[in-house]
Amino acid sequence: MAAVSSYQPFAADGHDVAWRTWEGEHHEEATIRWENEGFTVVGQVSRERVQYVVRLGPRWNVRQFLLFRDLDEPDLWLANDGTGHWGEMNGAHRDEFDGCADIDLRCTPLTLSITIRRLGLDIGDSASVAAVRVDTESLDAQPVRQHFERLGEHRWRIARGDEPAVELDVDEFGLVLDYPAEFRRESSSARACVPTSGLFATSHRSRPRAALVAKQGAASRAAWSLSWALSCMRRAESATPPISCPT
Q: pLDDT by residue (tens digit) across 16-33?
A: 999 999 999 999 999 999
H/E segment holding residue 236: helix 218-238
How much is the pLDDT for 24? 94
Give pLDDT tens digits for 170-186.
999 999 999 999 999 99
More confident residue, 196 or 2: 2
Task: Note whether 139 and 75 are within 8 A (CB).
Answer: yes
Residue 212 has pLDDT above 70, yes or no: no
- The Cβ of residue 195 has, within 10 Å, a number of other Cβ atoms equal to 21
Residue 90 has pLDDT above 50, yes or no: yes
Task: Note whether 14 and 34 are within 8 A (CB).
Answer: yes
H helix count then E strand count, the chain: 3, 13
Q: Which amino acid belongs to residue 200? A: F
More confident residue, 169 or 204: 169
How much is the pLDDT for 101? 96
How much is the pLDDT for 6? 82
How much is the pLDDT for 69? 92
H/E segment holding residue 17: strand 15-21
Residue 128 has pLDDT above 70, yes or no: yes
Q: Which amino acid belongs to residue 141? A: A
Confidence label for 50 from pLDDT (cuts 50, 70 and 90): very high
Give the residue among 196, 200, 175, 195 at the shortest CA–CA distance from 185.
175
Give the residue among 39, 79, 36, 41 at the shortest CA–CA distance from 59.
39
Give the residue among 64, 94, 98 at the shortest CA–CA distance from 79.
64
Strand ranges of the sheet holding 155-160, from the earlier edge strand across to the other edge: 102-105, 126-134, 141-150, 155-160, 166-169
Cα of 96 vs its chain's centroid, Å: 20
How much is the pLDDT for 89? 80
Residue 223 has pLDDT above 50, yes or no: no
Least confident of 159-163, 194-198, 240-244: 194-198
Rounded to an integer, what distance in angstroms lies between the CA atom of residue 112 and that of residue 53?
Answer: 14
How much is the pLDDT for 121? 97
**What Cα–Cα distance (Å) separates residue 235 from each residue in 132, 194, 216, 221?**
24, 21, 28, 21
- The Cβ of residue 136 has, within 10 Å, a number of other Cβ atoms equal to 20
pTM score: 0.79
DSSP of 39-96, one letter per residue?
EEEEEEETTTTEEEEEEE-TTS-EEEEEEESSSSS-SEEEEE-SSS-EEETTS-B-GG
Q: Output the average pLDDT for the chain.
A: 82
Give the residue among 89, 119, 88 at the shortest CA–CA distance from 101.
119
